[in-house]
Amino acid sequence: MPDLSINFAGIKSPNPFWLASAPPTNSGYQVMKAFDAGWGGAVWKTLGVPVVNVSSRYGSVNYRDKRMMGFNNIELISDRPLSDNLREIEEVKKRFPNHAVIASLMVQSRQEWHDIVRQSQEAGADGIELNFGCPHGMCERGMGSAVGQEPEVLQTIVEWVMEVAKIPVIVKLTPNISDITEPAMAARRGGADAISLINTIQSIVGVDLDLFAPYPIVDGKGSNGGYCGPAVKPIALNMLKNCAQHPDVRLPISGIGGIETWRDAVEHILLGASSVQVCTAAMHYGFGIIREMTSGLEQYMVDKGFNTIYDFVGKALPNVLHWEDLNMKYKVTANIHEEKCIGCQLCYTACEDGAHQAIKLNAGTRVPEIIEANCVGCNLCSLVCPVEDCITMDRKDDGTAHVTWKERTEANDIPTEFNDEKAGGRHHWVPEPAAALGKEKHKTLPGKARQFEKVTVTQEVTE
């Protein structure tokens, strides 16, 4: 069987799955339960200055009948007494010496940082995570994302921490910034051992249509919160890739953001994460999801012949290029496999209205037809198709030619004027604008019974 264990910047863990610093790691009870269920590590809910929370703290984005595809919170860091948290960390470590317990910290002054780092170490924490990401409540007090958004301040605080840290220090980064590699590099300059990302994204998850207030609602009012859950994975993956590819960051990365299944975890690992942190999924389904995650990861590694996590950390990074380095000679077009088509015609309407008018309908069949000459190979039809492998994007070039925008630029082979012959859409067929009018009125407009013309009352009204 493959070895799932990791050594993340010196923090050892039986598997790469850690609970992120959040409500699921609020107490020793929860962390012990999680370790008992199979989690490899836990980043304790942030310890620091005393806080008071409001009631009504979480909001959700539902998609049709699926709940919590996005999630936000306006909860603050741990509101439990520091001594209770430290005592429980010690207790957990005694019981689970081989699991990773990381203390997440957030305080203000140099002295406070020194004190809390020392206390965490004394409690037996395996590592420290500096919370420079919280985008609500704490940033207004000059902490959390207020630090994460100022690389110099971040670096200074990391330096303070490193003055006393004897255990690995992870800096947790906020995504609420234009270029996440700036704080990542500041963390490295400050001497941090690793980074973790992303923290939550500033958000309003929805507005109550009756109360005219944003969710979650606190006595008729609301505030921006921190967004997470499955919906944020794409943002997290991109920022992860940015840090993992940056030549001046070069730190182990703990990936966070939208991880719910082993697949999500593998994606994070392939883009450079060597541990992953989970919160929303555990808040939604409980700690039991770890069984699916470890079994899926293990099976994937067996299937791929990977012995350790490190066999595939960052394996997808070489394939993530800048747009200008992509092969412009590569050409795919859509291919509808008629025998699989169920005739929903979503591809037709998507291409017709949302893409390049490269699909047509024929009389006597509900199976649409690709107009190959118009197909730019955008993938849209294959993405909306509800049937697996019904629309495939088939390669049409012979694979021998290769030219990139960068190469064309260097060779002076790029369009430079508005009417340049070399412009991409120059010879692409588009219908006449007026051809759109009334085109599908008989189809898209309401059913037969409503095709009666609006009748105006013409005759005179008698008594």
Partner 1 sequence: MAEYSTPTSEQEFHANFAQLKPRMNASEALFESSRCLFCFDAPCIQACPSGIDIPQFIRQINSGNDTGAARTIYEANYFGNACGKVCPTEVLCEGACVYNLQDVKPIEIGRLQSFATRKAIEEEKPLMQAGIPNGRKVAIVGAGPAGISAACELRALGYEVDVFEAKDQPSGLTVYGVAPYKITNEEVLAEMAYLQKQFGYSVQYNSPITSQADLQALEEGYDAIFLGIGLGRTNALLLPGEERENCVGAVEFIEQLRMNHHATTVGRKVIVLGGGNTAMDAASESSRLGADSVILAYRRGKEDMGAYEFEYDLAKGVGVKGLFNVAPVEIVGNGKVEGVKFIRTALHEGQVQTVPGSEFVEPCDMVIKATGQAKQTHFLSLIGGLKTDGKGRIVADERTGQTTNPQYFTSGDARNGGAEVVNAAAEAKAAARGIHEYLSRK
Residues with active-site annotation: 134
Closest separation between CB of residue 18 and partner 1, Å?
33
The SS3 call for residue 324 is: helix
By CB under 8 A, is residue 454 in contact with partner 1?
A: no
By CB under 8 A, is residue 387 in contact with partner 1?
A: yes
For residue 275, what are its two tokens?
A: 């541990």
Closest separation between CB of residue 337 and partner 1, Å?
13
Rounded to 5 degrees, what are φ and ψ at 176? Answer: -85, 60
Query: Which is closer to partner 1, CB of 201 or CB of 231?
Result: 231
When binding is defined by CB under 8 A, the residue of 83, 299, 379, 451 that contacts partner 1 is 451
Query: Which is closer to partner 1, CB of 395 or CB of 439?
Result: 439
When binding is defined by CB under 8 A, the residue of 55, 362, 416, 459 that contacts partner 1 is 459
Q: What share of the chain is helix, strand, coil (3-state, %, to 5)?
A: 35, 20, 45
Candidates 86-94, 210-218, 426-434, 452-460: pick the segment binding partner 1 (CB under 8 A).
Answer: 452-460
Contacts with partner 1 by CB under 8 A: the residue count is 32
By CB under 8 A, is residue 362 in contact with partner 1?
A: no
The residue ranges of DSSP E strands in 1-79, in sequence order, are 6-8, 11-13, 17-19, 41-48, 58-63, 66-73
Alpha helices in 141-221 (DSSP H): 145-148, 151-164, 181-190
Candidates 81-89, 111-119, 129-137, 338-346: pick the segment binding partner 1 (CB under 8 A).
Answer: 338-346
124 to each of 91, 98, 307, 308, 355, how far by Cα in Å? Answer: 9, 12, 30, 27, 58
When binding is defined by CB under 8 A, the residue of 342, 401, 403, 435 that contacts partner 1 is 342
Instruction: Give Cα 448 to chain centroid, integer Å.
Output: 45
By CB under 8 A, is residue 398 in contact with partner 1?
A: no
When binding is defined by CB under 8 A, the residue of 94, 166, 427, 448 that contacts partner 1 is 448
Closest separation between CB of residue 386 and partner 1, Å?
5
Distance CA 388, CA 369 (A): 18
By CB under 8 A, is residue 155 in contact with partner 1?
A: no
121, 167 contact by CB (below 8 A): yes
Strands 253-256 and 194-197: parallel
When binding is defined by CB under 8 A, the residue of 220, 247, 364, 386 that contacts partner 1 is 386
By CB under 8 A, is residue 66 in contact with partner 1?
A: yes
Candidates 46-54, 69-77, 283-291, 450-458: pick the segment binding partner 1 (CB under 8 A).
Answer: 450-458
Radius of gyration of the chain (CA): 27
Query: Which is closer to partner 1, CB of 34 or CB of 391?
Result: 391
When binding is defined by CB under 8 A, the residue of 52, 363, 437, 461 that contacts partner 1 is 461
When binding is defined by CB under 8 A, the residue of 317, 346, 414, 423 that contacts partner 1 is 346
Distance CA 194, CA 152 (A): 17
Query: Which is closer to partner 1, CB of 154 or CB of 205?
Result: 205
Distance CA 161, CA 119 (A): 12
Instruction: Give Cα 259 to chain centroid, integer Å.
Output: 8
If one counts every other C-beta atom within 10 angstroms of the C-beta of residue 49, the result is 16
If one counts every other C-beta atom within 10 angstroms of the C-beta of residue 234, the result is 12
Closest separation between CB of residue 156 and partner 1, Å?
50
Query: Which is closer to partner 1, CB of 64 or CB of 166?
Result: 64
Residue 363: CA count within 13 A, CB half-sphere: 0
Closest separation between CB of residue 232 and partner 1, Å?
22
403 to each of 168, 407, 413, how far by Cα in Å? Answer: 45, 6, 11
By CB under 8 A, is residue 463 in contact with partner 1?
A: yes
Closest separation between CB of residue 302 and partner 1, Å?
31
Binding residues (CB under 8 A) for partner 1: these are: 64-66, 342-346, 348-349, 361, 366, 386-387, 440, 443-444, 446-452, 455, 457-463
